[in-house]
Amino acid sequence: MVCRDAFTHRAYPVNALSVYTPEESALNAMGEGEPNISPSLLHTLTILGTAHHGHRLSRAQRSLSFVPPSSTQAKALRDFSSMLRSPLTLRVC
């Protein structure tokens, strides 16, 4: 396996990939294009991929970039911004 050197833009060797678990070996085999992955392991990887996709989709749908903040979140944002705008007061004990 090689990568590109940032300065010379030539091929630069990298360490070999270490595969420890059956899931990692299945992912490595998929990346290498080997079709002989056990069906049970492929099923496990599919379930993990689906769960990851669902988690990402859920986070995107709750993102403040797409959904307006709830009243609790809006109050917290207002309080925080007003705290930043107010002058700092020092307490001397």
CB 2 within 8 Å of CB 11 = yes
* CA-to-CA separations, 18 to 14, 15, 35, 82, in angstroms, rounded: 12, 9, 20, 51
| pLDDT tens digit sequence for 22-51 | 888 878 877 777 666 677 777 777 888 888
Indicate the domain borders of the chain.
1-40
User: Whose CA is closest to 16, among 4, 28, 30, 33?
Assistant: 28
- Per DSSP (E only), the strands in the chain are 2-4, 11-13
| Chain segment 14-26, per-residue pLDDT in tens | 888 888 988 888 7
**Distance separating alpha carbons of residues 67 and 60, to the nearest angstrom:** 9
Mean pLDDT, the chain, rounded, equals 81
